[in-house]
Structure 1
Amino acid sequence: MRPAARLSPDRWAAIAAFVLVGVAVLVGAAFGWAGHPVHAPAAPLFGHFLPHVGPGTPFALAVAVAVIHWGPVLADRMPWRRLLLAGWVASVAWTFALALVDGWQRGVAGRLTTPFEYLTEVPGVTDVHAMLRGFTGHILLFSPDNWTTHVSGHPPGVLLVFVGLDRLGLHGGGWAAVLCVLVGCVATVAVAVTLRALGDEAAGRAALPFLVLFPGAVWVGVSADGLFMGVAATALALLAVGLTRPSWWCAGLGGAGLAACAYLSYGLILLALPAAAVTVAAWQRQRLPATPAPQRLTPTPAAPGPSSEPAPPQPASATADPMRPGPAATATANPARPATATTGTAPPATATTGPTPPQPATNPAQPAPATTTLDPVRPRRASGTTDAARARRLPRATSPAAGTTTVRQLSRLACAVVGAALVVALMTGLGFDWLEGYRLVKVRYYQGLASARPYTYWVWGNLAALAVSAGPAAAVILRRAVVQLRTARTPPVLLCLGAVAAVVAADLSGLSKAEVERIWLPFAIWLPAAAALLPARDRRTWLYWQAATALVVNHLVLTSW
């Protein structure tokens, strides 16, 4: 009798996530039956159990099948810029398809026009400066002309966004919804750009299909938190680019973007933790010595000569991949070794085994035949080796002296701090006191449903809602990130754990009870960023589970956003 096969740790992690969600559903229902409701009808999600289909159903299924079937292959082979554009388009299509399951009015145009939302207050803003000066005076529930629920619970930045949209002539919930989706889906591109800037393009390519089929897209379409997700991810991407390239402007814009996020949502002050992860990863990339990538041997034809012995195989160029920027194809992986590609007549091949003689100088007037380059069209390689080879690639350029690196890093970080300080100074000068607003919003939070929502349930029920929003693959990715942290602090690991640290801080604060499936979108999007940690042979299976999670939730629960 054959022994039963053991479940892998990855499967145990996914099972734990499913069990957590199931227990949260049962306990939430039990609280309600016992007369102590948790004030979320579809706990741990905020919505109503209502099985339904809609016009977006066939489109959502089509997008899911297309991304699962072709996404991983295209992510590996497409040129980088085209891949980013395709990823953003696919993400927009996926998000709109899910939103249209509820119909255009109920699922898109009407989401931001309810009495609790931002657009209700837009017509009353006739003087922006006066609104900012008096904003904190209308936060508390019983203050004169108090703001609606969502406006009072956030800084004025998001209201300014919708006021600006209205002043441009784009009135109503339809345009506001389109803005939230288009900006929110930029996070798909921004996460991939961040990984590439930190030296791990392979991880960015592996993550893109998971970012497209992100189950949190159910709440990106449509909520203002989807817009926050796109802005936050873009700010972190700019910070990563600014810290890893000689770009003080990008560093400054990244800092300014992160500060602007704090004026969109008070909770986004916790982006300091993912930003710290970006800083550490950028620091590692600049200080670690370049590590040659594993090379595929390509036979080089022997030059004409008296010897009939074939030339030994030569390693392929370290930057011969046409999808990646780098030096010319004739560069060798070892900078100390002379290049093998020359122009003119090659010297006769000999059978000697001594040191390689110096090669004749290259004639700049003639293009050099690349004797060790790969084909212009990338050959299809085994998926198990492609990602492993790419994930270990670091910049080929020799790292500068440690002192110079430290000074440059600190100067770019200072630019980010200056950019953030300028935003804070601008908003403070216009009349809004962030600290006073935060103090008042904590009072306002417990004047509403939060006072009746039991902390003992939501402190772990929130994690069940996050498991739904991030998808079952996120549990596996998180397990692998924790394990790998002991041996290799790679950019995907650091970014994933930085976002998780922010989630834990928000959860323990007691200021996030329910509705975190949308509130934590700016952090949840960074869990699929570490999809490269998944075995390549299993990624398509996890994509199925990610898409299935979004489709099941969207068709069984009528979400409020």
Structure 2
Amino acid sequence: MNRTPPSAEPGAAHSGVPRGPSRDLYAAGTAVLLVTAAVLVGRHIQGAGRTLFADWPPLLASWGPHLGPGTPAAVLVAIAAVAYGPALAARLPWRALVPLTWGTAMAWTYSLALVDGWHRGIAVRLTTPHEYLQAVDRFDDIPATLRDFTQHILLGSPDHWPAHIAGHPPAAALTFVLLDRIGLGGGGWAGVWCITVGATACAAVLVTIRALADEALARAAAPFLVLAPAAVWMGTSADAYFAAVAAWAVALLALAVTGRSPWWAGVSGLLFGLTCYLSYGLTLVALIAAAVMVLGRHGIRGRPALLVPLLAGLAVVPTAFTLAGFNWWEAYHLLVTRYHQGVGGIRPYGYWVWANLACTVLVTGLATAAGLRQTGAVLVRRRRDAPGRAAEARLALLVSAALLALLVADLSGMSKAETERVWLPFTLWLLPACAFLTLPRGPGSSPKFSTLPEQGGPPRTGGTPVRAWLTAQALLALLLNHLLLTRW
């Protein structure tokens, strides 16, 4: 796999795609208008009939400006990441960059969560009446609980499950049951688990981009993955943990189809199977996996030996739960009924089908909106056979697959509100589009993010546009976390 940055290759500066900053700003401005419309229309609908069940639509949050013990740390992490992130991402050895990305993402997420304090920000988030920890004591006999799991999904059933347990396959609740069994019980440990594991998703995305596209694009995406506004909901939400499992399933599949050990395919399959038993909606990660198989250097058709470990790994978790007595399909159909028994049956589809996209803007930031514009430009206008263009086209296809999965989830009608956390496994894969913001903007222009240290010469990184976009990402996260009291 070619690891040379596209910007360093001959002709890389002569892009057929208009990259003018004004077009990026137009995309960001359009995203702002979408969010503004969602807020204004949402407040009107909620005020008139209170059918949105969201106090600050399109987010499940309420207005409440506040500071907290995490505020100084969050500001310091943001300043450091903006000032030094692009240069470090370009200069550090790859083996150092991946764990540093994980560590910095953890610091960013923990500091944002602690703006609300340890108790409200982390320790009690997963102990509320709708959350997983409310029913840990009902899993004393795990096999018996799994056999009876579907009997408690509907609201009219005896001892019906809390909303989040009913809304997910049992692997989600079992995670916290097992943590409790090994002595890590309670909301504090559950929150630490979700934040710490969830932050590894950034590393998984980097590994995937490097395998399928090239290292330069992965390095360019790293600061944006770290400073994502999504961190507001990565701490503390179980969906952050789900996102990490799904991301590593994709990353290991990418390693398998690009010529690494075929056993990575087996581990990837195992994680994909687990993903489907953490959340029903994450079956849509299959669209991202399909893109990985298409983009792989060899692909599944080119390396049929990958199919055996992949399918074997994929079968493990479903087989185990089925033998234990849990019927995934029956549970899913009951969930659809439960969803419409509750607020899901009242929330208006006509609002949320587009307001969910406004939520996505708030989760991924204005830089991602601009990056998605350039993603479309890469796919539509750029000659893929031109030098340095293949890696960009591969990254654009990967991002597009994630966007497609998100849109399918949106149109399904099973994602009315709360997508700021529910869609984390998909929105995470939109963030790499920000790497396109670092590329040359026209003939003869100097790349804003280029030149790895092994090529000689100082890295030319951290140009004003890159730092400006990173600043916008950080400010959005800080404003959301300090002005609103989010439910996650």
TM over 0.5: yes
Q: Does 1:38 align with 2:52?
A: yes
Q: Which moved more, 1:160-169 or 1:81-90?
A: 81-90
Aligned partner of 1:232 in structure 2 is 246
Aligned partner of 2:222 in structure 1 is 208
The code of the aligned residue for 1:121 comes to A
Q: Does 1:64 align with 2:97?
A: no
CA offsets per residue over residues 488-544 of structure 1, 9 Å max, x none?
Answer: 363321221111000100000000000000000000011112322113342211101
Aligned partner of 2:336 in structure 1 is 442
CA-based RMSD: 1.4
SS in 2 for 1:48: strand
Q: TM-score, normalised by structure 1?
A: 0.76
Q: Does 1:455 align with 2:349?
A: yes
Q: TM-score, normalised by structure 2?
A: 0.87
Aligned partner of 1:396 in structure 2 is none
SS in 2 for 1:34: helix
The code of the aligned residue for 2:410 comes to D
Residues 381-420 of structure 1 mapped to structure 2, 5 A cutoff: 408-420=302-314
Deviation at 1:245, TM superposition (A): 2.0
For the residues of structure 1 that align with 2:270 and 2:47, how far apart are their CA atoms? Answer: 48
Aligned partner of 1:464 in structure 2 is 358
> What stretches of structure 1 move > 6 A for 4+ residues in a row?
none
For the residues of structure 1 that align with 2:373 and 2:415, how far apart are their CA atoms? Answer: 24
Aligned partner of 1:218 in structure 2 is 232
Q: Does 1:262 align with 2:276?
A: yes
For the residues of structure 2 that align with 1:80 and 1:9, how far apart are their CA atoms? Answer: 32
Contact 1:278 1:494 in 2 (8 A): no
Deviation at 1:144, TM superposition (A): 1.0
Residues 36-435 of structure 1 mapped to structure 2, 5 A cutoff: 36-282=50-296, 285-286=297-298, 408-435=302-329
Contact 1:202 1:532 in 2 (8 A): no
For the residues of structure 1 that align with 2:477 and 2:245, how far apart are their CA atoms? Answer: 23
SS in 2 for 1:185: helix
Deviation at 1:411, TM superposition (A): 2.2
Deviation at 1:36, TM superposition (A): 4.5
Which of the residues 447, 460, 471 maps onto 1:544?
A: 471
Q: Does 1:508 align with 2:411?
A: yes
Larger Rg: 1
| Number of equivalenced pairs | 436
Deviation at 1:422, TM superposition (A): 2.5
Q: Does 1:556 align with 2:450?
A: no
Q: Which moved more, 1:426-435 or 1:177-186?
A: 426-435
Gaps of 5+ in 1: 1-5, 287-404
For the residues of structure 1 that align with 2:287 and 2:302, how far apart are their CA atoms? Answer: 22
Deviation at 1:195, TM superposition (A): 1.0
The code of the aligned residue for 1:552 comes to L
The structure where helix makes up a greater share of residues is: 2
The code of the aligned residue for 1:233 comes to A
Deviation at 1:419, TM superposition (A): 1.4
Gaps of 5+ in 2: 1-19, 385-389, 439-447, 449-462
Aligned partner of 1:533 in structure 2 is 436
SS in 1 for 2:303: helix
Q: Which moved more, 1:180-189 or 1:473-482?
A: 473-482
CA offsets per residue over residues 454-483 of structure 1, 9 Å max, x none?
Answer: 111000000000110011111111111111
% identity of equivalent residues: 51
Contact 2:257 2:300 in 1 (8 A): no
Larger RCO: 1 or 2 (CA < 8 Å, sep 6+): 2
CA offsets per residue over residues 346-377 of structure 1, 9 Å max, x none?
Answer: xxxxxxxxxxxxxxxxxxxxxxxxxxxxxxxx
For the residues of structure 1 that align with 2:301 and 2:226, how far apart are their CA atoms? Answer: 38
The code of the aligned residue for 2:477 comes to A
The code of the aligned residue for 2:408 comes to A
